[in-house]
Each structure stands twice: as structure tokens, then as C-alpha cells.
Amino acid sequence: VRTVRTVRTIMQVFASPGVRAKGARVNTQPCCANDLLMNDILRKQWKFAGYVTSDCWAIDDFFKYHKTHKDSTASAVDAVMHGTDIECGTSVYYTLFNAVKAGLISEEQINVSIKRLFTTRYKLGMFDPPELVKFANLPISTLEAPEHKALALQMAQQSIVLLKNQNNTLPIKKTIKKIAVIGPNADNRVAVLGNYNGIPSRIVTILDGIREKVGKNVEVYYEQGTSFVHDTLLVYTNISKQTNWENQQGFKAEYFDNRNLSGAPVATQMEPSIDHFWQEGQTVIAGITAANFSARYSTTYTSLQNGSITFEVDGDDGYKLRINDKEVINTWTRNRMGARTYKLQTKKDSTYTLVLEYFQGAGKANITLRAGNFEKTNHARLAAQVKDAD
């Protein structure tokens, strides 16, 4: 993205809350190597003496997408010369070793960034005994402490701006009997997290929040209605009674303390379904936390009719689905965001063996297997269904 901005706009609008070396270009130069932003405004006008981190893979963008630099070495050198002290990425700054040898940048210039980085580390107490560092002595109970959650709720409530309140919908009256909630984000756990989000111990979707707020005496009717681009949706079916493993309903779940399903499982249990969402470090099962682990879920599925059924798998990080030993879905090495589906042609009373394998590296973790059939939303039926909603 190339953006042209005046200095006044940058100072009054974009730079007033803070600063970040992002991946875009401003006035022909990438932000991480921008004369105006990094040298003039940040270092000279603001007298900023701290360190600057690039946006993730922003330095790669110099030569891959912006085409402002010929290669990774030129990109790394220019970014450091402009005061981007550390990259959020994987490899570009490794080229600085050879860049120094080639005389493209001096060791003294590298040391400017090193000094900024280590100054921050010293200020954080990273080289002091733990007993002298207040950050090292915070108890785990500090996380999501009741007073902190109460303050966060207060901040959220006081920062909300109600733009429209048609028919005086809010506040919700205590006399209502039925609420209809329609839309693709209503029951979406990812949608409420945002970007670069924190990691709560429990995620409350919009639908969850409404149900908890109004209580059991109010009917809350929910339908997805549409996706973001069309109204042909996978309508889910509860197949739990059609799954069985060794005469037990559900899935045999095996959990491994490594990413590649190696060795004997640390734990094995039966699970009624596969619908897991863990935060990083959260306990998955005894002996396993949600980082650097893998799992295998096995079951047999018996079809009730001739026709077809679509299996949908959604997960982070990688997964494979096999049906009768045939691999039908594989995102093990390259998993872009979004679910994957496979349509299985079925015969009545036939049994199919399903094996779902999954691994988790770092960050949040989730794995879900659902089944159903694609249907176009019947808007007339949906309107009739919610006609009596308050």
C-alpha cells in the first residue's frame, strides 16, 4: 500500500496516539526506512531515544512487494540506517553479517541499534537477580484478577458510543420473551478478539453474552443467515449418535507431547465431539498444555441414508483428515485461515472410518470437526421464524 500524506496530517491524525513502523509506504518510501517518519519526526522532532520494531515481515515487503529495494540485504541495511532496530520476521536481518563485511553498513551503525535494544533490557531488569525486579515477582493471580476485570468492563462500557437505537431497543425490557440474533459474527469466537489481541481465559461471543444477560426465561433464537459473501451455508447436523469407536459413542482422542504424533500418547480418552479452543499455555489434558503438542481423533461414522455429507475441519495450526485411509484434507505444512471441507458420498447403513490428526505449535489453538450439508438460506422461512421476536 502506498499512501501520500502531508506532514500536518501525519502529525495531527496518524502520529498523535503513538508510533509504529508499519509495512506500508508513505510518500514513496516504506515506513521502516522513511526519511520523514523515522529520521525527521521520530528521532529529531520527538527526540525519541528508544528502539523501534518493524511490523511483522515489513522489511520483506521492501523487495518482495514494494520493489523499492533490490534484495533482502539492501532492505535490511536501509531499515537499520533509518532506525528500525529489530525486525519482526524471520530472516532479513541475518543478512547484516555479510553487509558489514561488504562495507554496506558499519559495525558502529549496527551498535547504535544494539545499544538501544540492550538499554531497554537493562531498564526491564533482564540482567538483574529476580528478587530485584518487580515484574518477575507478579503472582499468577494478577492475571484476570477480579478488580482488573471489573475495570476492563467499566472502560468498555464507558467507551461505547450508541449510534442508533431504533424503536428504543435498548435498554432491553424485562418483559420481552424472544430475541432473534442473526449474522455470521454472532457466534464467532475469533471475531470478538480482533488483531494482536490479548488472550482471555474465556471467550464470550455476542450470542453467549446476550443469552447470559437475558437469562433462561427469554428465548434467544439464532441463525447464521449468511456468510460474509453469500447465503449458501453449511447447515450443521449433530452426528454424535452416528459415531462409534470400539463400542463407545464418540471419538477416541490421543494426545502427544510433541508436534508429530511420535511415540506413545501421553493421554487417551473418549470424547463426544471435536470442538476445542485453547489459549496458549492452557491445559489441554493432564500432561499436555496448548503448545507444541499433537492429537489424533478416531471414530467410525455410520450413514443413515443414501446421499452425501460434508465434513468441515477448522484448526490452528495444522491438520489432516483421512476417511477409510484416504487423505481428503491436508493443511499440515501450510494452513491458511479458514475451514476446509470434504463432501463424502454415502450409502445407507455403511460405516466410514474417520481419522483427524492435528498439531499445535505456538499461539492460540483450536480444532473442530463438524458435518452437514450446504443449503441456500430460505429468507422467507427465516423471516417467519423471527416474526414473533420482540
For the record, the C-alpha cell of 388 comes out as 414473533
The one-letter code for the residue type at 129 is P
Q: How far apart are CA 314 and CA 335, in angstroms?
A: 10
* Residue labelled with grid coordinates 443469552: 211
Q: What is the CA radius of gyration of the chain?
A: 27
Look up 40 and say whether it is catalytic. Answer: no
For the record, the C-alpha cell of 117 comes out as 535494544
Q: What is the DSSP letter of 376?
A: E
User: CA dihedral in degrees (74, 76, 82, 84; nearest 10)?
Assistant: 170
The residue annotated as part of the active site, out of 35, 40, 55, 257, is: 55
Q: Contact 354/298 with Cβ under 8 angstroms?
A: yes
The one-letter code for the residue type at 286 is A
Distances from the Cα of 180 to the Cα of 69, 112, 237, 383, angstroms: 54, 59, 21, 10
Distances from the Cα of 294 to the Cα of 202, 278, 347, angstroms: 22, 13, 32
* Residue labelled with grid coordinates 531488569: 125
Catalytic site positions: 55
